[in-house]
């Protein structure tokens, strides 16, 4: 079973300083929250896709396509049906409301997708290192690393418990809700107890390896900010600026005029292409 999204590859995004990525992620979230129109959110989606491509992580995103699509469709539907203004149930069908709902669905899917790109291009150790650089105490950052490390272990022991009980005839698929809930006792108790035992052993193992020895820790992971981090920062600032003032800028007469002539040019081009035999 592959439980982690991280892809051990060489790419510009992999090589970014973890702090850069740790800052970029919430900034991207903020930009997504600020944008509302479907068109601008689609532009942001393009940005995320470009970053994923640069990070050679498109397949990681594609691998989660079902999750992303479910999020997108479910959110869109919910907003479209139940929105307080323009919702289908209250105000009947309104194309603008549908577009708005789709935008909100896309916003959520985008945030998850950028999270996937982050995890696919950042080692847990680097993630923790980034958090420490940002001032988080080592123990907290270590707990995060540990949580990631333990996921496959807990999944494996959970599976082992379920198999052991199914082999003794435990049936989790039939019966009413209450009976089914009660049937989970044989799963929960052994999982809980094995987890406690494991935590106990883990604590001893950490101590034997000098955890909290009082010495000043060496951090093996080392990163320096480089040109690509500066470039990423500039692009991020540009993105934020565009999300904040892009709309105003676009409504300036000069920009409007420029956009109008560009549009006319495109239309002419299209007409020419269409009239060709």
Residues within the interface to other proteins (CB under 8 A): 1-4, 8, 15, 123, 125, 149, 152-153, 157, 160-161, 163-171, 185-186, 188-190, 193-194, 197, 208-213, 215-224, 226
| Spatial distance between the Cα atoms of 114 and 121, rounded to a whole number of angstroms | 11
For other proteins, the closer of residues 74 and 188 by Cβ is 188
3-state secondary structure of 16: coil
Shortest Cβ distance from residue 185 to other proteins (Å)? 7
For other proteins, the closer of residues 34 and 198 by Cβ is 198
Give me the helices (H) in the chain, please: 12-15, 18-34, 38-54, 58-63, 65-82, 88-91, 95-121, 124-133, 138-167, 177-182, 185-208, 227-251, 253-275
Shortest Cβ distance from residue 61 to other proteins (Å)? 16
Q: Which residue has the tokens 């470009």?
A: 50
Angle in degrees, CA 73, 74, 76, rounded to 5: 65
Shortest Cβ distance from residue 146 to other proteins (Å)? 10
Shortest Cβ distance from residue 139 to other proteins (Å)? 12
For other proteins, the closer of residues 34 and 228 by Cβ is 228
| Spatial distance between the Cα atoms of 234 and 249, rounded to a whole number of angstroms | 19
| Spatial distance between the Cα atoms of 141 and 115, rounded to a whole number of angstroms | 18
Shortest Cβ distance from residue 135 to other proteins (Å)? 19
For other proteins, the closer of residues 216 and 272 by Cβ is 216
For other proteins, the closer of residues 94 and 157 by Cβ is 157
Half-sphere exposure of 211 (CA within 13 A, CB side): 12
Residues in the chain: 277
For other proteins, the closer of residues 69 and 206 by Cβ is 206
Shortest Cβ distance from residue 118 to other proteins (Å)? 18
């Amino acid at each position: 079973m592959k439980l982690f999204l991280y892809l051990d590859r060489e790419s510009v995004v992999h090589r970014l300083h973890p702090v850069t990525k740790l800052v970029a992620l919430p900034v991207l979230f903020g930009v997504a929250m600020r944008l509302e129109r479907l068109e601008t959110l689609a532009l942001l989606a393009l940005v995320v896709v470009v970053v994923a491509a640069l990070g050679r992580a498109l397949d990681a995103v594609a691998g989660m396509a079902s999750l992303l699509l479910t999020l997108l469709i479910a959110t869109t539907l919910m907003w479209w049906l139940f929105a307080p203004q323009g919702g289908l149930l209250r105000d009947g069908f309104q194309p603008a409301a549908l577009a708005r709902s789709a935008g909100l669905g896309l916003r959520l899917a985008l945030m998850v997708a950028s999270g996937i790109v982050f995890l696919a291009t950042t080692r847990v150790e680097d993630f923790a290192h980034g958090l420490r650089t940002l001032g988080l105490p080592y123990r907290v950052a270590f707990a995060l690393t540990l949580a990631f490390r333990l996921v496959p272990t807990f999944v494996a022991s959970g599976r082992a418990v379920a198999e052991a009980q199914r082999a003794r005839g435990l049936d989790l698929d039939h019966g009413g809700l209450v009976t089914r809930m009660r049937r989970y006792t044989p799963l929960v108790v052994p999982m809980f107890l094995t987890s406690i035992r494991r935590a106990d052993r883990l604590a001893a193992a950490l101590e034997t390896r000098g955890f909290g020895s009082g010495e000043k820790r060496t951090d093996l992971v080392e990163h320096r900010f480089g040109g690509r981090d500066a470039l990423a920062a500039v692009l991020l600032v540009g993105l934020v600026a565009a999300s904040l003032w892009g709309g105003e800028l676009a409504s300036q007469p000069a920009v409007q005029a420029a956009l109008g002539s560009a549009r006319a040019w495109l239309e002419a081009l299209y007409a020419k292409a269409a009239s060709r035999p």
